[in-house]
Amino acid sequence: MDALKCSSSTFLPLTNLNTLFSNHAFPKSPAPNFNRRAAQPLSLSAKDTARTSEPENVAVVEKPPPSKRFLVSDGLPSPFGATVRDNGVNFSVYSSNSVSATICLISLSDLRQNKVTEEIELDPSRNRTGHVWHVFLKGSFEDMMYGYRFDGKFSPEEGHYYDSSNILLDPYAKAIISRDEFGVLGADDNCWPQMACMVPTLGEEFDWEGDMPLKLLQKDLVIYEMHVRGFTRHESSNIEFPGTYQGVAEKLDHLQELGINCIELMPCHEFNELEYYSYNPILGDHRVNFWGYSTIGFFSPMSRYSSASSRNFAGRAINEFKTLVKEAHKRGIEVTTNFLVAKYFLLGPFLIDSKQVIMDVVLNHTAEGNEKGPIFSFRGVDNSVYYMLAPKGEFYNYSGCGNTFNCNHPVVRQFIVDCLRYWVTEMHVDGFRFDLGSIMSRSSSLWDAANVYGADVEGDLLTTGTPVSCPPVIDMISNDPVLRGVKLIAEAWDAGGLYQVGMFPHWGIWSEWNGKFRDVVRHFIKGTDGFSGAFAECLCGSPNLYQGGRKPWNSINFVCAHDGFTLADLVTYNNKNNLANGEENNDGENHNCSWNCGEEGDFVSISVKRLRKRQMRNFFVSLMVAQGVPMIYMGDEYGHTKGGNNNTYCHDNYLNYFRWDKKEEAHDDYFRFCRLLIKFRDECESLGLDDFPTAKRLQWHGIAPETPDWSETSRFVAFSLVDSVKKEIYVALNTSHLATLVTLPNRPGYRWEPFVDTSKPSPFDCITHDLPGRETAMKQYRHFLDANMYPMLSYSSIILLLSPIDDS
C-alpha cells in the first residue's frame, strides 16, 4: 500500500517528523454514544483531567443486578471473542488497563434506533482472569448483536482512552453490523453510525462440499490482483448482484479463460467506505474509501460486499465469502487476501486448472487514525497495547494513515496469528499479502527482552519502531503449524522509509512484491540507458535479491498494481492526472517511470497508438518470460485506463470499475495476446523453474549469438532457454528507437519459427498453430529464417520456437 492512497486532505501537517506523528481528522462525528456522554473531540477537558487522577487499576463496583433476558455465569478466559458452547455463548476480551467492563446486547431493531437492548455489568471478582474479561450467557440470541463498554483512565498522554460512553467492537468479532448499503449514509447523514458485533449461533453448518486446500506450487502461480466491488460493479457486467462476492463468483469463467490460477483480493475485511466522504465537484459524486485499506474488524468480511448485507444479517457476508472461495477452488483458483494480509481460494463449478485465493491484509494500522480519530474498538479496549505510542502518548505513523499497529507486542502478535488461522481454517483462503509488511519488523512500544522473550538481556532495549532482524510476529507466523504451507507475501516497505525488498525476514518461505522488478522493467522497456544488465537479473528471478536462502518464486513480479498507473496509462501519460481526487494533484506518486510514446493523453496520432500497443505487449512479454511469479492487475488484460490517475483510492466509479464491454472489444486483440502468453508460460517447463537458471540451461545473446551487450547504452537483451517441452525457446527485446537485424543461434536440423512478434498487428502478434492464414504469415519470414536471421522493429519483442527442418 502506498501511503498516498490515504487522502492527504484528511491529515494535518506532521508536528514532528522524527517521530512520525500525524493528525487524522474525520469528516463526520464518530459512532453515536447512545445518549450517554459525548466522546469527541478527544481533548483533555477539565473533566478529563480530573479523571486521570483516578486509581489506575482499582474497580469499586456493587454486585451487578441480575439479567432479565439471560442466564449469566462466570465464563472462560479463552478463546477470545464470542464462542458458542454448552447451549450458550462465552464472551472473552483482553483489556489490561480497564477497571470495569460491561457487555451490551443489542437487537437489530434497537441498533437502528441507537438503543441498547440489555447491558450486563461484569463482576471483576468472577468475570476477570488476569487481564481478560469473560462471561457466559444463556438465552435467546436471535437477531442479537453485542459490544463492550470499558471504563478506566482517560489520559491520552499516558496512552489511555477509556470512556464508558462508547460501545466498542470486539477485536475478535467474526462479523460486524452497521449500514446496509455501500456508500449510503447512516441515519442523520452520519458517516460513522454505531456498529455492533454479531453473536454467533450454531445454525446450519456451511456446506463446503469437501473443499480442500489446492496447495498449488508457488512457482506455477499466475496472480490476479482484484477488487471485489470493482470487478463487477459496472453495468456491463450484466449480473444480478454487481459489486459483491456473489458477483465475483459469477464471473470466474473470465479468469479461467485468461489462465489465472490465483486471485489476490484487495481488502475484504470490514471497513468504512465513508471514511473520506466528501463531495467531489470535479466528477459530481462523492469521495469514499474505495480500496478499503483502513480496517475496522480483521476477522469480519466486509458486510456490504454481500448481496444483501445486514438485511439478511451479518452471517450472509460470511457465507457468501465462503461460497466465493469454494467456487474458486472448484475451478482450480487459489484465493489470497490483502491483510493488509491475504489468502488463496478457488472459484468455479468445475475442477479444471487449480486456482487459489490470496487475501490482502492490512495489519499495519486501523481506521481509528491518531488521537483525533474515532474510538470504536482497539483504542477504547486497550490503546497502549494495540498501537505504537511515543512516551507522551502520540501515535507513531509508519503507515502514513495516522497510527501504527503494535505488531510485535505479545498480545497483538497472538491476535495476528489467531486472525490468520481463522481465515485459513474457517474461510479456506490460501494465502495472504501483507500490506506495508515491513511494519511487522519494527519493534513494539514495549520492546525489551522481558516483554518479548520472558527474560532480560543486557543492552537489549530498543527504540520503538526500530527494525529488528528476527521479529517475533514474523517468527510466529512462519513457524505456526496451522499456517504451514500457506502462501505468505510481504509488501516489503512502509511509509516510514523502511525498504526491505530482498531483505525482508523470510525464514525461507516469505515472498515479496518485487518493486525493483517493476522499476527496472519500466525503465528498460521505455528505452532508458543503463538497464540491460538489471533487466537480465529480473528475467532470472532476481538472484541479486533472493539467491541465498530463497528461490525465484519468492519474487512476485509485477509491472502494475492497484496503486500507480494501469498498464494502458503507463504508455499513455508522462505525468499523473489526479485532479479528480480533490487534492490539487498533490497526491499520488510523481516518479512513475512511464513514457507516453511521444504524445500525452488519449487523442494522439495513429503511429503513437500503434507504438503504445507494442509497448503494452512488450511489458506483458517481460512479465511472462521472467522467472518468478507474475502478477497482473485487474483490467490490464484488456487495457483499462484510469485517465492517468495513479491514486484512485477514493473513487467508486468508472475509474475503478472493470469494463466488461471493453474486455469484449479487446477479446480478439490484446486480451487474446495475454491469454495466449499465459498459456505459453504454463506449457513451458523452463519458465517456472524451482531454482535460478544456470549456464547449462540459459544462454545470453546479443545482435549476434552468444555475444550479449551489457554496456551502458545497450537496449537489446536476448536469451535462449532449454525447455523439456518446447526443446528450446529464444526471446529477444529491442527497446531501441532503431530497428535491427538479429542473427539467431544455429541449431542444426531445426529452424527458428516465430511465435510472438509484438510489432505485428493482431492476430499475427501471436501465431498459433490453428491461426487462419498461418502458412501465409510464415512464408513472409521464411527467407530470413532460412538465413538464421530475424528483423526486429524498434520497441518490439519476439519469442521464437524450434521446428524440425523438413527436407522434402
Distant-in-sequence, close-in-space partners of 485: CB < 8 Å, separation ≥ 6: 213, 215
CB atoms within 10 A of CB 773: 10
Nearest to 304 by CA among 277, 268, 338: 268
**Is residue 435 flagged as an active site residue?**
yes
DSSP string, 503-545: TS--TTT-EEE-HHHHHHHHHHHTT-TT-HHHHHHHHTT-HHH
Asked if 765 contacts 806 with a C-beta cutoff of 8 angstroms, the reply is: no
For residue 520, give the C-alpha cell: 527496472
In the three-class reduction of DSSP (H, G, I as helix; E, B as strand; rest coil), residue 558 is classed as: strand
Express the helix, strand and coil content of the chain in percent, nearest 5 each.
25, 20, 55
Q: Looking at 334, 435, 519, 636, which residue is catalytic? A: 435
Distant-in-sequence, close-in-space partners of 425: CB < 8 Å, separation ≥ 6: 482
d(CA 330, CA 354) in angstroms, rounded, equals 8
Burial category of 282 from C-beta neighbours within 10 Å (exposed 0-12, middle 13-18, buried 19 and up): exposed
d(CA 58, CA 97) in angstroms, rounded, equals 10
Helices (H), 281-342: 315-330
Strands, DSSP E only, in 32-143?
Answer: 71-73, 81-85, 88-94, 100-107, 118-121, 128-129, 132-138
CA distances from 361 to 59, 205, 305, 511, 577 (A): 37, 26, 16, 15, 28
d(CA 171, CA 184) in angstroms, rounded, equals 25
Q: Looking at 491, 494, 583, 652, which residue is catalytic? A: 491
d(CA 44, CA 24) in angstroms, rounded, equals 17
CB atoms within 10 A of CB 208: 13
Asked if 373 contacts 382 with a C-beta cutoff of 8 angstroms, the reply is: no
Q: Provide the CA 167 distance to its chain's centre, in angstroms.
A: 29
Give the chain's end-to-end CA distance (angstroms, integer). 60
Asked if 177 contacts 303 with a C-beta cutoff of 8 angstroms, the reply is: yes
| Residue 496 one-letter amino acid | G
CA angle 556, 561, 567 (to 5 degrees): 110
**Cell 447523514 -> residue:** 189
**Is residue 491 flagged as an active site residue?**
yes
Q: What is the 3-state secondary structure (H, E, C) of 425-483?
A: HCCCCCEEEECCHHHHHECCCCCCHHHHHCCCCCCCCCCCCCECCCCHHHHHHHHCCCC
For residue 186, give the C-alpha cell: 447512516
d(CA 606, CA 321) in angstroms, rounded, equals 45
d(CA 760, CA 241) in angstroms, rounded, equals 40
d(CA 280, CA 270) in angstroms, rounded, equals 24
Could you give the residue numbers annotated as active site? Answer: 435, 491
